[in-house]
Amino acid sequence: MVMEREYLLAIDIGGTFIKLALVSPTGQLNGKSQVRTPDSLEQFCSIIDRYYELQKNQYNIIGVAISSPGSVTEAGDSLGYSSVPFVHEINLASMFSARYDLPVSIENDANCAALAELWNGEAVQLKTFACIVCGTGVGGAVVINKQLYKGANLHGGEFGYTILSSNLKESSYDTWSELGSSSAITRRLTQEPPYYTNWTGPKVFQQAGNDHDKALASLHTFFHTLAVGIHNIQYILDPEKILIGGGITRQPDFMNQVHSELNNIYAEKPFAKIRPSVSLCQHLDQAQLFGAAYVWLERYRKGERYV
């Protein structure tokens, strides 16, 4: 039994999976579990209930920390649209607080990823940085003077909405998410002739290594878009560092391809003298769990030392 140690029940709500774990105030993670994201709020609550009941007799659970899609308000509502519709149906913070009689926090998933790096990851020594999260869409977050910048409309760091390609004659405007998300890599291969099926991210990288021309072209678009976005962030925010997260960053040679595309930009724009410092996020698929816990600690244990 480890009841004497305190833990937070951390919940990361993703478009494909729900991740669950117990995170201590000193950053220890235990009991990680992953299940497919359900279709309904009722199914979601059943998943969390089962995990909570399993853990509460072994661990001293002091609160619930949630990472969620959407623009999350101070009151805990998740606004906007996402690939997980049920998070917008109810105030999850209020619901779980009443359900378990525990203090609950909730924050946007990309913001959680950035705060995880600030707490005990790649950004510990930084004051100002941006975080790009490449997934089904492109998420992001901005931290200024060690404080999360949410913006006037809770859209600070929503890099996926930025337009990175446009055509005046055709009135077309392509966003970063449409061109440079992980899902865009495979979408291009299934929507353009010759049509390919059953593509996954790892398969695209594998086939690109075999000189598959369409796979190479789709990856080139991805890395080109990412480099343009990094360049723009550097000159809009001028952060100390730009971090990149998401499962795609695990692919071998990822950073070499990023720097290769950045080299192309600075060769064409020699007046741009400030070269961005770019690194990968440290926490990978655990980032939102750590970040959600950090948000809870900042809300309910502000001023205490977490590490």
Task: Find out whether 121 and 289 touch, Cβ atoms under 8 Å.
Answer: no
| pLDDT per position as a tens digit, 19-58 | 999 999 999 999 999 999 999 999 999 999 999 999 998 9
How many whole angstroms separate alpha carbon 254 and alpha carbon 166?
26
Specify whether the CB–CB gap between 36 and 16 falls below 8 A.
yes
Tokens representing 78? 């998740």
- The pair of structure tokens assigned to 6 is 């305190």
At residue 195, the pLDDT reads 72
The strand pairing partners of 72, in sequence order, are 78
Q: Among residues 171, 173, 125, 131, which one has the least CA distance to residue 148?
A: 131
Same fold for the pair 2-113+285-300 and 122-281? yes
Domains of the chain by residue range: 2-113+285-300, 122-281
Check: CB of residue 109 under 8 Å from CB of residue 69: yes
Contacts of 23 (CB under 8 A, 6+ apart): 7, 8, 10, 29, 30, 65, 289, 290, 292, 293
Measured CA to CA, the distance from residue 110 to residue 116 in angstroms comes to 10
Q: What is the pLDDT of residue 247?
A: 85
Q: What value does the mean pLDDT of the chain take?
A: 93
pLDDT surpassing 80 at residue 184: yes
Residue 109's pLDDT is 93
C-alpha count within 13 angstroms, C-beta hemisphere, residue 267 = 7
% residues pLDDT > 70 (the chain): 98
Query: In this predicted structure, what is the pLDDT of residue 3?
Result: 46
**CATH assignment of 122-281?**
3.30.420.40
Q: For residue 299, name the pLDDT band (cuts at 50, 70, 90).
A: very high
Per residue in 228-277, pLDDT (tens digit) is 999 999 999 999 999 999 889 999 899 999 999 999 999 999 999 999 99
Which pLDDT does position 142 carry in this prediction? 98
Whether 283 has a pLDDT exceeding 90, the answer reads yes
User: Could you report the per-residue pLDDT of 200-229, keeping only the tens digit for each?
Assistant: 888 999 999 999 999 999 999 999 999 999
Higher pLDDT, residue 260 or 170: 260
- pLDDT at residue 40, as a whole number: 96
Q: Which fold has domain 2-113+285-300?
A: Nucleotidyltransferase; domain 5 (3.30.420)
Give the separation between CA 215 and CA 201, rounded to whole angstroms: 10
pLDDT value at position 2?
A: 42
Residue 4's pLDDT is 53
